[in-house]
Amino acid sequence: MELNHEEPGIGERIARLRARRKLTQEGLAEQAGLCVDIVRKLEQGVRRTARLTTLNALARALDVETSVLVGQPTTFEVRSEGCGQPSVLALRQAISPVSDLLGDDPDPEDPPGIAALQASLRSTERIRREGRMAEIGALLPQLIGDAKAVARASSGSEAAAAHSVLAEAYQVAATTLAALGKEDAAFTALERAGDAAAKGDDPHLEAVGFSSLAWVLTKQGRLADAERVALRSADRIEPRFRSAPVELSLWGILLLRAATAAVRLERKDSVRELLAMAGAAAARIGTDRLDYATPFGPTNVGVAKVNFLVEMGQSTEALRAARTVPELHTLPPTWRARFHVDRALAFADLRKDDGAVQALLTAERTAPEWMRYHSTSRRLVADLRNRERRRTSPLTELADRLDLDG
């Protein structure tokens, strides 16, 4: 007889954690700054979900991560029959909801305030940078829904601010989907981002959107289009002597996007020129920045140089350059992990497999969940395992953790 172990819902998780902390429903509501009716309906299963800001407030009151309340969605589980690629149904539904077409009844819960909405965006961006993919699948769709609700219910400056949050949330969705190999859905998310940005209050969001678009086009193999998009957007914001650091940063990011396409088009002279221009912008800023969830500065330019050298097959030079990258710890975990994967690629190209394995293990320690979904990492581990003769080793154990078949 097969038992059905159903995953507990949000309400059951809240009730368990509340009881563990010896709180009444009224006490939890007070600590979270919420109406007790919301807590009661969630625990009774009358409501199956809530605004992300509501869940954040409950999580703070219960002293847990928000993802603990939401749970790990099956939409992001690695499936053995699917070559390790997770489903992206939750994000697809968020960017293309049927409810918009059917005109379903609006959510009865009041929309959050702008400050709470912006705090939710910052939290979600941090989770994405850390490579916590399952949490993104749970939290990002709710953030998109919250931002749309605020935009609908507001007017004037508040509506513009909500549309800016919505644009950034769509951009996070796009980069997440592209990282999972779903470039078609990522393109749709960027179209939504552009519409929202046009109604927003942040003039930089257009450039951020074009930067994301260039990356998605590169992932699609549309290299000339990617290069053109990045360069044209960079031309629009080409910084001057008194330009703000954020403008220098966005300009540099766009140049690196163009260089990524150029290196795959085998335009080495263009790559060197673009990298030099980006390096000059980074030197002008003088430090590493994080704008719109994307790092830029001397460190990221150094990491990009290593990546370009690897792409061009100059593995010895790549490893030499990797040793000179400054302040690597300032980069987000997923950027650091990708840097170590590039080092692994260079070692493997030189048939220094021990060095490649050590670099891959460092990447895994840096962003373990990200590694499970990163296609280049998975291919490299598979290739190295096919070259190895030992049945049991750190490499085979890594392959097992990545759910690689064979």
Query: So what's the pLDDT on residue 71?
Result: 59
Return the ∠ at Cα 64 (arms to 61 and 69), rounded to 5°.
Answer: 95
Distance CA 250, CA 233 (A): 10
Task: Pick the most confident of 50-54, 72-76, 78-82.
Answer: 50-54
Helix (H) or strand (E) holding 291: strand 289-291
Nearest Cα neighbor of 194 from 180, 177, 178, 212 is 212
List, for residues 183-194, the tens digit of each pLDDT value. Answer: 888 999 999 999
- Give one DSSP letter per residue of 203-247, joined into a string: TTHHHHHHHHHHHHHHHHT-HHHHHHHHHHHHHHT---TT--HHH
Task: Pick the most confident of 70-74, 226-230, 241-245.
Answer: 226-230
Distance CA 50, CA 151 (A): 17
Q: How confident is the model at residue 8 (pLDDT cuts 50, 70, 90)?
A: low
Q: Which two tokens stand for residue 24?
A: 């009444």
Mean pLDDT to the nearest integer, 281-288: 93
Q: Are 219 and 257 in contact (CB under 8 A)?
A: no
Helix (H) or strand (E) holding 273: helix 268-285
Distance CA 396, CA 24 (A): 49
Q: How confident is the model at residue 6 (pLDDT cuts 50, 70, 90)?
A: very low
Q: How confident is the model at residue 366 (pLDDT cuts 50, 70, 90)?
A: very high
Query: So what's the pLDDT on residue 82?
Result: 38
Q: How confident is the model at residue 168 (pLDDT cuts 50, 70, 90)?
A: very high
Burial of 103 per CB tally in 10 Å (0-12, 13-18, 19+): exposed
List, for residues 307-327, the tens digit of each pLDDT value. Answer: 999 999 999 999 999 999 988
Give me the residue spans of the domains in the chain. 203-287, 324-401
Residue 83: Cβ within 10 Å count: 12
Query: In this model, does residue 382 exceed pLDDT 50?
Result: yes
List, for residues 339-364, the tens digit of each pLDDT value. Answer: 999 999 999 999 999 999 999 999 99
Query: So what's the pLDDT on residue 83?
Result: 38
| Pairwise pLDDT comparison (83 vs 42), residue with the higher score | 42
Query: So what's the pLDDT on residue 405?
Result: 65
Q: How confident is the model at residue 182 (pLDDT cuts 50, 70, 90)?
A: confident
Q: How confident is the model at residue 5 (pLDDT cuts 50, 70, 90)?
A: very low
Query: So what's the pLDDT on residue 216?
Result: 92
Q: How confident is the model at residue 277 (pLDDT cuts 50, 70, 90)?
A: very high
Q: Are 90 and 139 in contact (CB under 8 A)?
A: no
Distance CA 45, CA 55 (A): 15
Distance of CA 276 to the CA centre of its chain: 27
Query: In this model, does residue 48 exceed pLDDT 80?
Result: no
- The residues that bridge with 291 in the sheet, in sequence order, are 294
The residues, ordered by sequence, that sit 6+ positions from 114 with a Cβ below 8 Å of its Cβ are 150, 158, 161, 162, 165
Mean pLDDT to the nearest integer, 281-308: 94
Mean pLDDT to the nearest integer, 289-309: 95
Query: In this model, does residue 300 exceed pLDDT 90?
Result: yes
Q: Which of 66-75, 91-100, 221-230 has the lowest mean pLDDT?
A: 66-75
Q: Are 385 and 348 in contact (CB under 8 A)?
A: no
Q: Are 78 and 84 in contact (CB under 8 A)?
A: yes
Query: In this model, does residue 81 exceed pLDDT 50?
Result: no
Q: Which two tokens stand for residue 278?
A: 């980006």
Q: Which of 29-38, 203-212, 251-260 has the lowest mean pLDDT?
A: 29-38
Query: So what's the pLDDT on residue 133?
Result: 82
Mean pLDDT to the nearest integer, 273-297: 94
Query: So what's the pLDDT on residue 262?
Result: 94
| Pairwise pLDDT comparison (101 vs 79), residue with the higher score | 101
